[in-house]
Amino acid sequence: MLEARGITAWFGDHQVLDRVSLTMPAGQITSLIGPSGCGKSTFLRILNRMHELVPSASLAGEVLLDGDDIYEPQKRLTDARKAIGMVFQKPNPFPAMSIYDNVIAGLKLTGIRADRARKDYLVETSLQKAGLWKEVRDRLRAPGGGLSGGQQQRLCIARSLAVQPRVLLMDEPCSALDPTSTRVIEETMLELASEVTIVIVTHNMQQAQRVSSQCAFFLAGAGKPGGIVEHGPTDAMFGDPQDDRTADYVNGRFG
Ligand SMILES: Nc1ncnc2c1ncn2[C@@H]1O[C@H](COP(=O)(O)OP(=O)(O)OP(=O)(O)O)[C@@H](O)[C@H]1O
């Protein structure tokens, strides 16, 4: 389980999130929805300590992974990144690197040692879980950049899975893909959900309904930092929202 408690975030003196708390249960997919600029990506990046890569960025609050705060001073950055993977909007495989090497690229970066047999195993199982194995098993030595956009995104998912994370964060993972590739990624997410906790930022309300069991609706008032207006089971958020602003947003009346 991943739990954010009282997350407040700034870029310089611009506060972009105000005391955001959210529990993201294990074995479930949580969607973060809301209009542009309300802090969803910032919140997601705080969940695996990527926010601190921006020089002006700062934050307050806690992020607990199975009860341990990933921001405790003695906790290492690479441990947080190993346990909590991230897939981005635009597929970003290493284009000249082989499919095989792309999948295991994260091992070295996170200090995981593996012999050849172990690497072979991780490549096969990660590609299988990402729904790409059958399409690439005969060309593992071909460059990752030669795959289609949807295949590249599944390659990036496989790369995240190879370090065996407990959580996978996905920032609009399908927004650069066609509808068919989008459906394949959504099916992949649903299959992964039983073993990896997934948190996804999406602007696609149908996607949020298709994949997630829980949603959190973020909003920022004019000139104000973002926060969660309402969160709960996806069915309730779409079928019986408690806040008028949630109802307006999920029904496409703004954003
Ligand atoms: N690197 C940065 N430096 C300064 N300000 C930033 C930076 N990244 C984001 N912001 C600001 O933080 C606020 C929240 O942005 P964020 O990208 O988290 O919103 P979002 O809800 O994910 O938007 P979108 O849906 O468009 O991706 C915005 O006002 C944005 O301008």
Query: pLDDT, tens digit, for every residue of 1-12?
Result: 999 999 999 999
Residue whose CA is at the smallest distance from ligand 1 atom 14: 39
Residue whose CA is at the smallest distance from ligand 1 atom 3: 11
Interval between CA 205 and ligand 1 midpoint (Å): 20
As a whole number of angstroms, the distance between CA 115 and CA 122 comes to: 11
Ligand 1 atom showing the smallest separation from residue 45 Cα: 18
Confidence class of residue 108 from pLDDT cuts 50, 70 and 90? confident
3-state secondary structure of 214: strand
As a whole number of angstroms, the distance between CA 226 and CA 15 comes to: 9
- What domains, with CATH codes, occur in the chain? 2-251 (3.40.50.300)
As a whole number of angstroms, the distance between CA 39 and CA 194 comes to: 27
Query: pLDDT, tens digit, for every residue of 121-136?
Result: 999 999 999 999 999 9
Ligand 1 binding pocket (C-beta < 6 A) is 11, 16, 34, 36-42, 54
**Helices and strands: H and E segment counts in the chain:** 11, 10
* pLDDT surpassing 90 at residue 140: yes
Confidence class of residue 174 from pLDDT cuts 50, 70 and 90? very high
Confidence class of residue 253 from pLDDT cuts 50, 70 and 90? confident
Confidence class of residue 109 from pLDDT cuts 50, 70 and 90? confident
Closest CA to 93 of 176, 165, 47, 158: 158
Alpha helices in 65-199 (DSSP H): 77-83, 99-103, 105-109, 116-129, 133-136, 149-161, 179-192
Instruction: List all residues 6 or more positions away from 82 whose beta carbon is below 8 Å from its beta carbon.
Output: 110, 112, 163, 165
Q: What is the mean pLDDT of residues 184-204?
A: 95
pTM equals: 0.95
| 60 in Cβ contact with 16 (< 8 Å) | no
Strand pairing category for 29-33 and 214-220 = parallel
